[in-house]
Structure 1
Amino acid sequence: MTKVERILAVLEGRPVDKLPKGEFYLEDELVRKLIQEKNSLTPSRIDLEEKDEAYERLGIDALVFMPEKGKEEPWQELATWRLKKDYFLFALIDGPFQGVGYGYEDFMEFLMDTRDEEKLQDLIQKAMNKSLELGKKALVAGAHGILIADDIAYNHSTYVSPTILRNNFFPHTKELMDNLNGEALELRGEKVPFFFHSDGNILSVIKDLKGMGFQGIHSLEPVMDMAQIREEAGDMCLMGGYDLSWFFTGGISKAEELLQEALKGPYIFGSTSGILSGDLEPEPIIKVYDFVDEYFKTEK
């Protein structure tokens, strides 16, 4: 199976030859460690081939690209990877909660304003117009899927009530998805998969996300119980779930606990943050990622 075939098979509930893995990216310093670059005193810029070597070492199938700010072609890097490599490529765009919230200097003021649908309408529309244009360009650049990033939660719950999200924000998310799927149908003759990213505890709205048409959820921080996530998500594809701190304490045992629940449905293994940072050492990462492959072989 190719990487793209593997991800699509998981999303469709079909058998796969190995458990797919996905991350946003690896920071350059970690890439250097993984490929054992010797020129550490005057490190050169890490190029595509070196990143690819590191991703291949971990068996990564899916990558997530963010738009390059201030550039006429915000998805040039994604387009280059689509041309030269065979990874499943997600393009990340903001959802309405995050898209508007980032424009406030005072986050608490934003949270107060979330109750005022009329006040928010213009702000949400501007944010969604921006995300729609970025999403269209991402599809043209070759994105296989769209990841809508909308940090709606913290450790205990969503920042605002699920009712406010359902009334004032989720309809705009659904409209964004519908518009981009319409664009995908025109460009390719088929829809694209949508994943939802949020940190924190989103248990109370997982069924809402499924109802909107999201095929997957990313992050899955350990503030939520994985068994509960799977129960709420049903046959949605889960992605992430492995906390970066576990590379220091827990390692393989934490990966095994995660896999026991996550693999009760479609799953893409990866970290909760999506970004493997440069301060991590390669040895524990390699051990965990290799263990994931072995576990899947014995359990499938």
Structure 2
Amino acid sequence: MPDQPHSPRERVRQVLAGLPTPRPPLGELIIDDDLVRDLAGLPLDKPLPLAAKRALLKRWGHDLVTVAFSSGWGAPVQPDPKERLDRLRFWAEESDLFLFALVDGPFSMAARAWSWDQALIRFSQRDRELEAFLADGVIEMSEWFAALADAGAEGIILGDDIAYRRGPYVNPRHLRAAYFPFLTLVTATAQDLGLAVVFHSDGNLWPVWEDVLQTGVDGIHGLDPYASMSLALARQRSPDSLCLWGNLDVGWLMNLPDRGQIRAHLATLLGPALSAPLIFGSSSGLHAGLPLEALDALYAEAAAVASLTMDDD
């Protein structure tokens, strides 16, 4: 679909280029297909019509959509790449949304190749086999990124859960030697193709925050609120050009807060970060079982609170 001057696609491009927008874009890392089926009244055992998801995103005023090419290193079933490329083409042709492709980062690639425990050991020991594997992976990712761009992707989300609540799984010193050099290469490879890059991780990233910034990523998604992460602190510790995305726990919506409670919560959450590039969304995506009424209120209030707060400035 052709771009318009103030289209959702352009709004996301702007924040990823390091510029704030009058109204921050809205969007999620992942929206579970079963959630869409449930909210749209569709059978759970049938393929999801992408038009149904498009209607839901329009209802919520989202500016982006993510197509996942990985379900995480430990998932028993992974997405079919061909089917996901078809999804990218659908969104490129049938919407004005910014398109992200979610792929594994170096840590997840290693965990899938060996195992979680083996990956931890190899990253901790500066393993030569690991280094050779990741070097080959950078070359393969370059070819894959080109295919994603050809299908319509404009951004890459590198999904790598390298941390838990207390900090990184691997000593930061070892990550600086064996992980971040490859994350930097993968980031540059995507950016050389004109793709924006967002890094995602759960957990407490403060011990390696500067290391993530030095990879050159355009944005960081996650900001796990249960791991001492916050938009306010992330904004203070980051360049003004870095796009932040996340920090909202959607599990809170299961308590069915009223509109006033949602408005107050979002004003506190978003206020310190609105003067710089920001995408509004949860820290981990939307899962099945979330109530439609609460989600409707969440995104309506997010747009309203953002606009009012920026007007006050």
Q: Per-residue CA shift, 1:137-173, capped at 9, x if unaligned? A: 1111111111111111111101112221111111112
Amino acid at match of 2:221: H
Alpha-carbon distance in structure 1 between the residues aligned to 2:177 and 2:33: 41
Change in Cα spacing, 1:9 to 1:29, as seen in structure 2 (3 Å) is same
Aligned partners of 1:196 and 1:214 also within 8 Å: yes
2:198 counterpart SS class: strand
Q: 1:32 offset after TM fit, Å?
A: 4.3
Matched-pair contact (CA < 8 Å) for 1:3–1:88:
yes
The CA deviation string for residues 208-252 of structure 1, in whole angstroms up to 9 with x for no partner, is: 222221110011110123122222223211111111211124661
Q: Deviations over 1:94-114 (max 9, x none)?
A: 211111023333x33321221
How far off its partner does 1:261 sit? 2.7
Q: Give the counterpart letter for 1:47 in structure 2.
A: P
For 2:228, the aligned partner's letter is M
Residue 61 of structure 2: aligned partner: 59
C-alpha distance in 2, partners of 1:17/1:264?
A: 9
Aligned residue for 1:271, secondary structure, equals coil
SS in 2 for 1:57: helix
Which residue, out of 16, 20, 23, partners 1:18?
23
Of residues 84, 87, 108, the one that matches 2:117 is 108
Which residue in the other structure is 1:225 paired with?
A: 229
* Count of matched residue positions in the alignment of Structure 1 and Structure 2: 288
1:216 aligns with 2:227: no
1:255 aligns with 2:266: yes
Change (3 A) 1:246 1:254: farther
Question: What TM-score do you get using the length of structure 1 for normalisation?
Answer: 0.87
Looking at structure 2, the residues matched to 224 and 45 of structure 1 have their Cα atoms a distance apart, in angstroms, of 39
Q: Call closer, same or farther: CA 1:104–1:175 in 2, change over 3 Å.
A: same
Give the one of 138, 161, 164 matched to 2:148: 138
Query: What's the secondary structure of 2:303's corresponding residue?
Result: helix
RMSD: 2.3
1:296 maps to 306
Is the partner of 2:163 in helix, strand or coil?
coil
Q: Deviations over 1:32-61 (max 9, x none)?
A: 4544x4x66x87543122111101111111
Please state whether the residue corresponding to 1:297 is helix, strand or coil: helix
Residues 122 and 130 of structure 2 are in contact (CA less than 8 Å); yes or no, is this contact kept in structure 1? yes
Q: Aligned partner of 1:131: which letter?
A: M
Distance 2:91 2:84 in 1: 14
1:33–1:281 contact (8 Å) kept in structure 2: no
Tell me the distance in 1 between the aligned counterparts of 2:119 and 2:228. Answer: 25
Extract unaligned runs of 5+ from structure 2.
1-5, 70-77
Q: What amino acid does structure 1 have at the position aligned with 2:64?
A: A
- Is this contact kept in 2: 1:30–1:277, CA < 8 A? yes
- Structure 2 residue matching 1:238: 3-state secondary structure: strand
Is the CA contact 1:195–1:214 (under 8 Å) kept in the aligned structure 2?
yes
Partner in structure 1 of residue 73 of structure 2: none
Structure 2 counterparts to residues 25-104 of structure 1, below 5 A:
25-32=30-37, 34-35=39-40, 37=41, 45-67=47-69, 69-72=79-82, 74-104=84-114
The answer for the alignment partner of 1:176 in structure 2 is: 186
**Identity, % of aligned pairs?**
31
Q: Deviations over 1:104-135 (max 9, x none)?
A: 33x33321221222232233234434433322
Query: How much has 1:180 moved relative to structure 2?
Result: 2.8
Letter aligned with residue 224 of structure 1: S
User: In the TM superposition, what is the alpha-carbon distance from 1:74 to its structure 2 partner?
Assistant: 4.9
The answer as to whether partners of 1:33 and 1:282 remain within 8 angstroms in 2 is no
Identify the residue that residue 160 of structure 2 maps to in structure 1: 150
Question: Residues of 2 paired with 1:71 and 1:296: CA distance?
Answer: 36
